[in-house]
Chain A
Amino acid sequence: MEQSLAARDHCGQRPLKQPSLALMAHLVLTGLTKRYGQTVAVASLDLAVERGESVALLGPSGCGKTTTLRMLAGLIAPDAGRVTVADQDLTQVPTHKRDMGYVFQSYALFPHLDVAANVAFGLAERGIARSERDRRAREALALVRLAGFEGRRPRELSGGQQQRVALARALVLRPQVLLLDESLSNLDARLRESMRHEIREIQRNLAITTLFVTHDQTEALTMCDRIAVMNRGRIEQIGTAREIYDTPATRFVAGFVGRINTIPLARDATGLNAGGIAIRAHGVPDGPVDLFLRPQLVALAARSEPAGDANRLEGVAARTVFVGDRSEVLVDTAAGRLVVELAPGAPAPADGAEIALLWAPETGRVFAREDA
């Protein structure tokens, strides 16, 4: 761990040069491809992860994110492309020589071994003496707050505890790279939330290069430095949570990450319109397009309020839904039903109230319509 921390500092000492990503990056995937028959699971995927960085592979099931992770770990062989870690080509290296920690979705704890033996499994493979193994296993268990559980069997543990044993088992080896495959999806909502923060903290403290596969955007947003949104075997966009959320690069990213309104737009002689109402927007591609609008970027206003430079769409408040930490208003407009987030402290409009929606032209994102 001291080692990887030192290495990180070393990287941090060269901020003046604008470093090429490929030179800086600790983990690099180049042109990684996997086909199953006619289906392309992963299509020439490129990804560079810096030392100590945590990157999420976010996407719907079947997008190729787990296949990517398994190729990285050497559990399946890519049809093309390369995997390098610290400038070392690992593409042909078998899993057991890759020095990557892998936390499986099912945890994959060894049922015939107790918790301490599970955690010490990899240490034994490295020929470390028994007493040293025990000491390090205890340390790793303390790190995941499971001190005192050494003698338990995996089946005697709750899901969250098993999850943490799996994490300790991977971390105790101080791997170069940590791979997490939907590691929280089998936990209940409360536990998932606390584990998110726990894992994130451990990952940060150890400064361990981490790739985290998930279909849960909250997990991706809260646990990772950057997010790679995957769809159909490709990375659609990679960036920080903010970038992904505020400026989605593609229609898929806009629709997949966060709640969003999709408003079909039409073209006429003067420009774009939504349900006959003229709309202004930036970055409009050719052909049929849709407008994507975040619920919290739309303001509720009285019909009498002037629109100014903003787009304006009249509607009728259908219903206000209290979602716990905020309220959402469903508004029926000429362009369909839209969801608008109620500003904190603002009074909810009465059901059936005639209102107007206002938003600045630059807040919406416009993407070409997909052939349905």
Chain B
Amino acid sequence: MKAPARIAWLALPAGAVLAFVYVYPMLDLGRMSFNRTGPTGAMVPDWSLAIWRELLADPFTLELTWNSIVLSAVATTGALLLAYPLALFLFRTDSRWRGLIAAIAITPMLVNGVARVFGWLAILGDRGLVNSILLSAGLVDQPVRLVYNWTGVAIGLTESLMPYMILALMAGFGRLDRTLEEAAASLGAPPWRRFMRVTLPLSLPAIVLGWLLCFVLAMSAYITPKLLGGGRVFLLATEIFELAVTNVNWPMAAALALYTLILLLLFLAAYGALARRAA
């Protein structure tokens, strides 16, 4: 699909904005990662690979990468499992509550991330809702640690991804057609088999779309891991902030930011290759 040259100028406004707010800062970030940090901690302009060498040689970088990928995969998959039934229901219901339910499912997006985290603290904290119930029911003697650790971050991140997952799934369900399930029924397939043989395969594009989108969002999430992690959860996004703001090591922060970007691009390229193979 080639756009005729005549309409290429339609891309001009967006192109100009992107060049200004995205391309230029990225180039600047790239340039910064080749600088050095002086003995006083100040940035010294240079063309050296010292920062990159230090970053890639540090085992902590690998740990951060692993942490980020595992957490993002877990939270994204959790969001997918929770969102899929709801999105499927919303996609095909003609209930008059559809609009309302869709709005409720998506409103978390409108709530400030910090406010949402405090909501989770109230629910998951040592004296929060969940622990009160568990303690009063006598199921546990000590409060269960559900925040300021990986569990808390995974729960919070999963919840924050759900609205995006629901929207992505509903957008990707295009090929799902009720008639196909009716056809499967007429051919003798009971409900569960209809789901496995027709609905699920046909919603695969939606699942992949939603998973990729939310995985990228999870990899770059900062507020939720920062606040629910209580300083015990180390990820690429939190570390970039630490390097830039606390350590004031701008070249290193720039290099780690680019490293994260390249990682995500590799993921998308791998997906693209897989998708082409499948098609």
* Shortest Cβ distance from B188 into A: residue: A125
In the complex where A75-B182, A125-B193 touch, is A112 in contact with B188 (Cβ < 8 A)?
no
Within the complex, which residue of B183, B190, B193, B202 is in contact with A112, where a contact is CB–CB below 8 Å? B202
Are A95 and B186 in contact, CB atoms less than 8 angstroms apart?
yes
Are A108 and B180 in contact, CB atoms less than 8 angstroms apart?
yes
User: Chain A residues near B187 (CB, 8 Å)?
Assistant: 96, 121-122, 125, 169-170, 173
User: Chain A residues near B188 (CB, 8 Å)?
Assistant: 96-97, 99, 122, 125-126, 173
User: B98 near A: Cβ within 8 Å?
Assistant: no
Are A170 and B186 in contact, CB atoms less than 8 angstroms apart?
yes
* Shortest Cβ distance from A122 into B: residue: B187
Residue interface mask A85-125, B partner, CB < 8 A = 1: 00000000011111111101010111110000000011001
User: B90 near A: Cβ within 8 Å?
Assistant: no
Are A106 and B201 in contact, CB atoms less than 8 angstroms apart?
no
Within the complex, which residue of A96, A106, A169 is in contact with B185, where a contact is CB–CB below 8 Å? A96
Within the complex, which residue of A97, A104, A173 is in contact with B179, where a contact is CB–CB below 8 Å? A104
User: A73 near B: Cβ within 8 Å?
Assistant: yes
Are B201 and A94 in contact, CB atoms less than 8 angstroms apart?
no
Within the complex, which residue of B175, B179, B190 is in contact with A96, where a contact is CB–CB below 8 Å? B190
User: Chain B residues near A95 (CB, 8 Å)?
Assistant: 182, 185-186
User: Chain A residues near B185 (CB, 8 Å)?
Assistant: 74-75, 94-96
Q: How far is the CB of A197 from chain B (nearest CB, A)?
A: 25
**Range, interface on chain A:** 20 to 34
User: Chain A residues near B175 (CB, 8 Å)?
Assistant: 111
- Label chain B's interface by main secondary structure: helix
* Shortest Cβ distance from A104 into B: residue: B179
Q: How far is the CB of A180 from chain B (nearest CB, A)?
A: 12
User: B209 near A: Cβ within 8 Å?
Assistant: no
CA distance A372 to B39 in the complex (A): 99
User: Chain B residues near A106 (CB, 8 Å)?
Assistant: 179
Are B183 and A110 in contact, CB atoms less than 8 angstroms apart?
yes
Q: How far is the CB of B90 from chain A (nearest CB, A)?
A: 22
CA distance A330 to B179 in the complex (A): 46
* Shortest Cβ distance from A76 into B: residue: B182
CA distance A272 to B65 in the complex (A): 96
CA distance A327 to B63 in the complex (A): 88
B180, B185, B188 — which one has the most chain A CB atoms within 10 A of its CB?
B188
* Shortest Cβ distance from A101 into B: residue: B186
Q: Which chain A residues (203-250) contact chain B, with CB distance < 8 Å? A: none
CA distance A7 to B193 in the complex (A): 32
User: B46 near A: Cβ within 8 Å?
Assistant: no
* Shortest Cβ distance from B179 into A: residue: A108
User: B184 near A: Cβ within 8 Å?
Assistant: yes
* Shortest Cβ distance from A105 into B: residue: B179
Q: How far is the CB of B33 from chain A (nearest CB, A)?
A: 45
Are B202 and A102 in contact, CB atoms less than 8 angstroms apart?
no
User: B127 near A: Cβ within 8 Å?
Assistant: no
B180, B185, B186, B198 — which one has the most chain A CB atoms within 10 A of its CB?
B186
User: B242 near A: Cβ within 8 Å?
Assistant: no
Q: Which chain B residues (171-209) contact chain A, with CB distance < 8 Å? A: 175, 177, 179-180, 182-190, 193-194, 197-198, 201-202
Residue interface mask A109-150, B partner, CB < 8 A = 1: 111100000000110011000000000000000000000000
Residue interface mask B198-242, A partner, CB < 8 A = 1: 100110000000000000000000000000000000000000000
* Shortest Cβ distance from A169 into B: residue: B187
CA distance A126 to B193 in the complex (A): 12
CA distance A100 to B182 in the complex (A): 12
CA distance A77 to B247 in the complex (A): 69
CA distance A225 to B190 in the complex (A): 33
CA distance A125 to B185 in the complex (A): 10
User: Chain B residues near A100 (CB, 8 Å)?
Assistant: 186
User: Chain A residues near B180 (CB, 8 Å)?
Assistant: 108, 110
* Shortest Cβ distance from B187 into A: residue: A122
Q: How far is the CB of B117 from chain A (nearest CB, A)?
A: 41
In the complex where A110-B198, A111-B175, A121-B197 touch, is A104 in contact with B190 (Cβ < 8 A)?
no
CA distance A278 to B128 in the complex (A): 96
CA distance A110 to B176 in the complex (A): 10
Are A121 and B184 in contact, CB atoms less than 8 angstroms apart?
yes
Q: How far is the CB of B181 from chain A (nearest CB, A)?
A: 9
CA distance A98 to B188 in the complex (A): 8
CA distance A121 to B185 in the complex (A): 11
CA distance A207 to B271 in the complex (A): 51
Q: Which chain B residues (115-162) contact chain A, with CB distance < 8 Å? A: none
Q: Which chain A residues (160-175) contact chain B, with CB distance < 8 Å? A: 169-170, 173
Q: How far is the CB of A41 from chain B (nearest CB, A)?
A: 17
* Shortest Cβ distance from A119 into B: residue: B187
* Shortest Cβ distance from A125 into B: residue: B188
CA distance A104 to B185 in the complex (A): 12
Are B186 and A73 in contact, CB atoms less than 8 angstroms apart?
yes
Q: How far is the CB of A114 from chain B (nearest CB, A)?
A: 13
Q: How far is the CB of B265 from chain A (nearest CB, A)?
A: 29
Are B184 and A102 in contact, CB atoms less than 8 angstroms apart?
no
* Shortest Cβ distance from B201 into A: residue: A112
* Shortest Cβ distance from B186 into A: residue: A102
CA distance A73 to B188 in the complex (A): 11
9 extra interface residue pairs, beta carbon distance < 8 Å, beyond A94-B190, A99-B188: A95-B186, A96-B184, A97-B188, A101-B186, A102-B182, A108-B179, A110-B184, A121-B189, A169-B187
Q: Show 23 A/B contacts (Cβ-Cβ < 8 Å), sorted by A.
A: A74-B185, A75-B182, A75-B185, A95-B185, A96-B185, A96-B186, A96-B187, A96-B194, A99-B188, A102-B183, A104-B179, A104-B182, A106-B179, A108-B180, A110-B198, A111-B175, A121-B184, A121-B187, A125-B193, A169-B187, A170-B186, A170-B187, A173-B188
**Nearest 6 CB-CB pairings of A with B:** A122-B187, A102-B186, A108-B183, A95-B185, A125-B188, A108-B179
